[in-house]
Amino acid sequence: MYAEVGSKVSLENLIKGVVIHSGNDAAIAIAQAIGGTEDGFADDMTRRARELGLPKSTFKNATGLPAEGHLTTMRELASLTRYIIEVFPQYYKYYSIREFTWNNITQQNRNPLLGKYRGADGVKTGYIRDSGYGMIGSAVREGRRLIVVVGGMKSRRDRAQEAERLLDSGFRKFRAVRIFSAGDTVGQARVWGGEEPSVKLVTKNDILTLLSEEEQATAEVQLVYSGPLKAPVKAGTAIGIVRVLSDGKLVYKAPVHTKNSVPATDSIWKKALDSALFMALGG
């Protein structure tokens, strides 16, 4: 972003420098401020990637420049993009800014979709010799968001055309399917030693996923939790996940929480009955 050495730049402008200008100087400045060193920040990024369920992403620097062992996958880039959009909308908005001026130098966002592809609002382009021209693109139409990741392209033009082709195909073939609305009961969990024999499980957020017509025909929902639960059970406790599968493959998952509290019972008869059932079920 052409920030002068020793100059003071706000964190917001550094983020804009990274997102809009692909500024390596801004990326390194942020890395050193947060991680102490760029290497330390890269280690922090790798640990965070594991926490987010990205097993293959390993970082050796903050810039994305080629380095031994520095790698990721297209799938994990898409997963990370989705996480940023959902969890940090206040920062994702920077990806749609068309240009940014710093130190009297104005640079354009290199994303070829912005202003040209209807609904496009991000995300990031890149190039290295080994993997060619690539990009992450995202667009929203009629409330549906698609994310595409392309790589190995021979030119900027090829990169733009492939991203547009994939987005066009996705919007044409896929539809948003509402599996559950926020607060819906998705099932029940057995409770051992409680005033009630079970507790309802709910989702805190809407569960929406994009499915093709073929995927909708084979879609199924699974509730997965470790039980029975032992009373007392508090309302709002995360105890498992609901999984959406199509043709046996996982397409979406979300946490489920207990809808209400279940206090422990004082009844010796209920405890005895629960113990018998627990043993009969192999607990």
Mean pLDDT of the 234-247 span: 94
Q: Quote the pTM value.
A: 0.75
Mean pLDDT, all residues of the chain: 92
Q: Is the pLDDT of residue 74 over 80?
A: yes
Question: Integer distance in angstroms from the first to the last C-alpha of the chain?
Answer: 61
pLDDT at 275: 60
How sure is the predictor about 266, in pLDDT bands with cuts at 50, 70 and 90? Answer: confident
Q: Report the range out of 111-120, 141-150, 190-199 with the highest average pLDDT.
A: 111-120
pLDDT at 267: 75
How sure is the predictor about 75, in pLDDT bands with cuts at 50, 70 and 90? Answer: very high
| In contact, 234 and 164? CB cutoff 8 Å | no
pLDDT at 274: 59
How sure is the predictor about 87, in pLDDT bands with cuts at 50, 70 and 90? Answer: very high
Predicted confidence (pLDDT) per residue in 165-215, tens digit: 999 999 999 988 899 999 999 999 999 888 999 999 999 999 988 898 889
pLDDT at 43: 98
In angstroms, what CA-CA distances link 207 with 102, 121, 166, 225, 244? 41, 23, 24, 18, 9
How sure is the predictor about 271, in pLDDT bands with cuts at 50, 70 and 90? Answer: low
In angstroms, what CA-CA distances link 272 with 261, 268, 276? 21, 6, 6
